[in-house]
Amino acid sequence: MVNPARPAPSERSNSAAPATLDTGAASGTQRMSQALIKTLLARGDALFAVGDVSGARRFYERAADGGSAHAAATVGKTYDPAFLAAIKVRGMQPDPNAAAAWYRTAAALGDPEAPRLLERLGAGPNR
């Protein structure tokens, strides 16, 4: 499922299409190898660990585009006002609507934490 908060991978001019195993046309995602997803998540985690939330977000988005439910939930957190406040991020504007859209994507991909994150955000699964 392509997140409505941003264009589909094929519509982004500044992003190369991910290496895919299965185009996932029915769901709107592009399936990629688990090894590539793991690499993208690790790179995102490394950037996040040094405080580069916006840089990490790009890697998480790419992994989410490849079908990673965990990555989609993590992208949502990078927009979530409560999460950003908890980690004391400065200079980033929270976006509850984008967070909710990513949490819904994560839920659709099967992330078990996503419904709770949506509720905490006050968005619910279908709002």
Residues of 9-24 as b/e, b for ≥16 C-beta within 10 angstroms?
Answer: beeeeeeeebebeeeb
| Residue 41 near residue 10 (C-beta atoms within 8 A) | no
Output the pLDDT for position 127: 53
- Domains of the chain, by residue range, sit at 31-121
Asked if CATH classification 3.90.1150.50 holds for the domain at 31-121, the reply, yes or no, is: no
Helix (H, G, I), strand (E, B) or coil at 54: helix
Predicted TM-score of the model (pTM): 0.74
pLDDT tens across 22-81, in order?
Answer: 334 344 556 789 999 999 999 999 999 999 999 999 999 999 999 999 999 999 999 999
Instruction: Pick 120 or 25 by higher pLDDT.
Output: 120
Helices (H) and strands (E) in the chain, counts: 6, 0
